[in-house]
């Protein structure tokens, strides 16, 4: 999920992706990351990406950082979803070829009735959440836990024992721009690693929005504007494994927390359609 400077959108519409600087190809001083970005994605990988219902035009290799600062190469899909090649192959084997033309959620979901243990990482090395980011995480968890008619719930703690938790939220100090990243559920489990970056100078409500959004991916939500990425000033269809949720709009929903890009005036709350979607899935 990338931040959009609303005032700059009109001057940047001709670009394929818009961030605060109107460029997503910022200079990275870490040569390993440069090499990862330049590595060519094979046609076999692109085919599997397409088969499971994600857009093969939005995939690249990037460096994925763990809360302890260690890293590995992973595939980055649609700008805020990470997976290893092994995870992609397992996902592809489990779910096969997905039919297109559907909206909002992935096919794999978290097991019904699941209580998800989630930890805000507080360790050092630049990965620990600031006081404001911890508050935003608490607000994001509250967004989910306060909903009636939803079977999944979250138990939030703060600390450094992230290995034993279902999900960990932490900072990535190596990522340029402002936003977050996560992944999709597998085997009934949520995606474990929720990263945020470049949010320190933003309002707590905006940080809440980003975390709520990335947790949404982790439990199975696609971008609300997958069909156009209109929130990013684009007109590109992400395509793929996107299942329509009854009772929600087919068109652009400008206040959804699951839009592909966000601005600096978000309130961090679900809109009514987000709530309908959660209640339908869980």
Q: What is the mean pLDDT of each run of 10 residues along the chain (282 residues)?
A: 52 29 33 57 85 76 91 84 84 58 61 96 96 98 96 97 97 93 91 96 97 95 85 80 75 90 94 92 91
DSSP string, 210-276: HHHHHHHHHTTBPPTTTTT-GGGT------SS-B--TTS-SS--TT-TT-SEE-TT------HHHHH
Reduced to 3 states (helix: H, G, I; strand: E, B; else coil), residue 127 is coil
**How many Å apart are CA 31 and CA 18, to the nearest integer?**
24
CATH 3.40.190.10 holds for 1-282: no
- 45-64, pLDDT tens digit by residue? 888 887 776 777 778 899 98
**How many Å apart are CA 267 and CA 202, to the nearest integer?**
12
Contact by Cβ (8 Å): 217, 81: yes
What value does the mean pLDDT of the chain take? Answer: 82
pLDDT at 52: 72
- 71-105, pLDDT tens digit by residue? 989 888 877 788 888 888 877 776 555 443 333 46
Residue 57's φ and ψ, nearest 5 degrees, are: -80, -10
Domain ranges of the chain: 1-282
pLDDT at 13: 28
pLDDT at 97: 52
Contact by Cβ (8 Å): 209, 268: yes
């Amino acid at each position: 999920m990338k931040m959009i400077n609303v005032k700059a959108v009109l001057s940047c519409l001709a670009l394929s992706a818009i961030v605060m600087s109107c460029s997503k190809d910022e200079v990275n001083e870490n040569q390993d990351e440069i090499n990862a970005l330049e590595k060519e994605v094979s046609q076999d990988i692109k085919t599997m990406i397409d088969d499971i219902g994600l857009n093969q035009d939005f995939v690249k290799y990037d460096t994925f950082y763990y809360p302890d600062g260690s890293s590995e190469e992973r595939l980055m899909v649609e700008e805020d979803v990470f997976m290893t090649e092994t995870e992609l192959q397992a996902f592809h084997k489990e779910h096969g070829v997905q039919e297109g033309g559907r909206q909002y959620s992935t096919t794999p979901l978290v097991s019904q009735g699941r209580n998800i243990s989630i930890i805000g990482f507080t360790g050092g090395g630049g990965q620990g959440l600031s006081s404001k980011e911890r508050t935003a995480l608490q607000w994001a968890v509250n967004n989910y836990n306060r909903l009636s008619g939803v079977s999944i719930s979250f138990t939030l703690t703060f600390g450094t024992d992230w290995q034993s938790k279902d999900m960990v939220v932490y900072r990535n100090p190596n990522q340029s721009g402002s936003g977050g990243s996560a992944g999709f559920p597998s085997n009934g489990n949520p995606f474990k690693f929720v990263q945020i970056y470049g949010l320190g100078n933003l309002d707590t409500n905006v940080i809440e929005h980003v975390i709520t959004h990335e947790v949404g991916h982790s439990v199975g939500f696609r971008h609300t504007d997958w069909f156009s990425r209109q929130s990013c000033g684009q007109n590109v269809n992400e395509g793929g494994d996107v299942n329509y949720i009854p009772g929600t709009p087919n068109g652009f929903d400008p206040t959804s927390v699951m839009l592909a890009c966000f601005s600096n005036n978000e309130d961090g709350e679900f809109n009514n359609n987000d709530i309908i979607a959660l209640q339908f899935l869980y």
